[in-house]
Structure 1
Amino acid sequence: MNLRPADLAREHGISAQAVRNYERDGFIPPAERTPSGYRVYTEVHVTALRAFLALIPAYGHSVAGRIMAGLTEGGIEDALLTIDRGHHRLLRDRETLVAVRKAVNDLTAAPDGAPERPAHPGPRSIGELAHLLDVTQATLRNWESAGILTPARDPATGYRVYGASDVRDAELAHLLRRGGYLLDHVATVVRQVRTAGGTEELARALEDWQRKLSAQGLAMLTAAARLSEYLSLRPASRELLS
């Protein structure tokens, strides 16, 4: 099967130049060239492009490109590790949603306004919390400036100290920020969790993020199928798949 860039592009409604760019960036394997210099693509390139485009809604454009570029260079173990990390992050997001929903239920159900919080190790320093969430300390300080976090201060050192409720608020903020919510919206949601005053907006935000997580999970299944098809056609991968 000998195909041109336009033949690959047509299936996905993209331009032939996009296909050439993906080859340039290593997202699909290098094409053979005719004596006159024209690219010749094969079924391997067809499946590689399908895999790359399926990986984007599952892991994001940057990670999808990293996975495919790694495979093009023969680094299947690095690609699989990146995929594993993506699944771990999705699982963490799901677990955080469960924890936040429990926190909201506790807040709205408790008559004295002092519900039991989801269990988190603590207290934590700003460095420890940043490491837990895989964000920078500057990000946590920005969230504090926006009113999302309200850490206590160690009276002896003046350093920030994040307790269990702070960790929960930070995890909620991290979740919503990845869902595309702006800082002022995140601050409103976190305040609602703290005060248990009016949780309709919070419920809508969490339902919206639940739908996004479900869509991402389904996209990961599709991406896995496309990637498996691609790997089955790559000679370097056949031994690992057999």
Structure 2
Amino acid sequence: MGEKLQRGHGLRPIDLARRHGLSTQAVRNYEEAGILPAAGRTPHGYRTYTRLHAAALRAFVALVPGHGHPTATAIMRAVNDDDLDEALRLVDESHVQLRDDRRTLEAVERALRGLEQGAGSEADARSGPAGRFIGRLAAELGVRPATLRAWERAGVVRPRRDARTGYRVYDEADARDARLAHQLRRGGYLLEQIAPLIARVREAGGTEPLAAALLDWRARVSARGRAMLSGSAELEAYLRERG
């Protein structure tokens, strides 16, 4: 790019911007936001940047894909404020979130496998086109009827009511949702975490479309993990540059 990156050599905003496909205004905005250290000024008041600023910008751009823009901004601000402990805490928090996302993904995958393994016995468990009442479904799952009522309040299952008796009636889609919820609850997930997933299964019309979505989810989790590695490498390079 023709950049002269000796520590004392001045770089223009456009020199930094071109390297990353940014506008010069974006570079100035990053400085004002504390992502870059404060720039020097020429006698005429123009900003000048150095190798240190170039390293800071590389670190920030590398951090964004893995940590997101707000967290990457907070990390860089902490480093530039000489608060390394805070910067590392923020990095750690992102890794914890990624670990939790991966565990959730694995729990959903296990739950889907459990449903597939139980598919052969599903037909035998059906109680006809009218569906099953709460006691029967609770017995199939090995839970109490009160548990199913709690799941209903959380939006996890949505049984209809029998027009004559007012009893809850669970059709096969309800039973599928309940089995999936049961698997996830056994994995330690809260109802408020499960309900959005069940809603997605309903929207997809079953678990088969969700299986394809899980492949994409796994790819994105892996990509984020690799992005975090790249971001950490550039952040470490910036820390070394700061000395």
Match of 1:5 among 3, 10, 13: 13
The amino acid across from 2:108 in the alignment is V
1:200, CA displacement in angstroms? 1.8
Give a deviation string over 1:28-63, Cα, whole Å, max 9, x none: 110111221111100000010010011111110010
User: Does 2:220 correspond to 1:212?
Assistant: yes
Match of 1:167 among 170, 177, 189: 189
User: Does 2:93 correspond to 1:85?
Assistant: yes
Provide the rounded CA distance (Å) in 1 between the counterparts of 2:117 and 2:103.
21
Provide the rounded CA distance (Å) in 2 between the counterparts of 1:103 and 1:224.
33
For 1:190-209, list aligned pairs within 5 A: 198-209=206-217
User: Does 2:106 correspond to 1:98?
Assistant: yes
TM-score (norm 2): 0.67
Cα contact 1:169–1:190 (8 A) shared by 2: no
Change (3 A) 1:3 1:105: same
Match of 1:18 among 1, 12, 26: 26
Change (3 A) 1:210 1:31: same
Match of 1:224 among 199, 209, 232: 232
Structure 2, unmatched stretches of 5+, are 1-8, 123-139, 159-180
Provide the rounded CA distance (Å) in 2 between the counterparts of 1:90 and 1:4.
37
Cα contact 1:173–1:190 (8 A) shared by 2: no
The amino acid across from 2:200 in the alignment is T
Structure 1 stretches of 4+ with a deviation exceeding 6 A read none
Structure 1, unmatched stretches of 5+, are 118-122, 127-140, 152-161, 177-185, 236-242
Number of aligned residue pairs: 185
Provide the rounded CA distance (Å) in 2 between the counterparts of 1:74 and 1:29.
11
Task: Work out the percentage of aligned pairs sharing the same amino acid.
Answer: 44
Change (3 A) 1:83 1:11: same
Match of 1:39 among 40, 47, 51: 47
Question: Where does residue 179 of structure 1 map in the other structure?
Answer: none
Change (3 A) 1:100 1:191: farther
For 1:147-186, list aligned pairs within 5 A: 147=155, 149-150=156-157, 164=185, 167=189, 170-171=192-193
Cα contact 1:106–1:116 (8 A) shared by 2: no
Change (3 A) 1:55 1:216: same
Change (3 A) 1:190 1:44: farther
TM-score (norm 1): 0.68
Question: Where does residue 199 of structure 2 map in the other structure?
Answer: 187
Which SS does the other structure have where 1:188 is aligned?
A: helix
The amino acid across from 1:68 in the alignment is M
Provide the rounded CA distance (Å) in 1 between the counterparts of 2:102 and 2:35.
30
Provide the rounded CA distance (Å) in 1 between the counterparts of 2:11 and 2:142.
62
Change (3 A) 1:89 1:190: farther
The amino acid across from 2:25 in the alignment is Q
Cα contact 1:4–1:41 (8 A) shared by 2: yes
1:115, CA displacement in angstroms? 6.4
Which structure's CA Rg is the greater one?
Answer: 2
The amino acid across from 2:69 in the alignment is H
For 1:79-158, list aligned pairs within 5 A: 79-110=87-118, 111-113=120-122, 114=140, 144=154, 147=155, 149-150=156-157
1:150, CA displacement in angstroms? 4.7
Question: Where does residue 66 of structure 1 map in the other structure?
Answer: 74
Question: Where does residue 154 of structure 1 map in the other structure?
Answer: none
Cα contact 1:172–1:190 (8 A) shared by 2: no
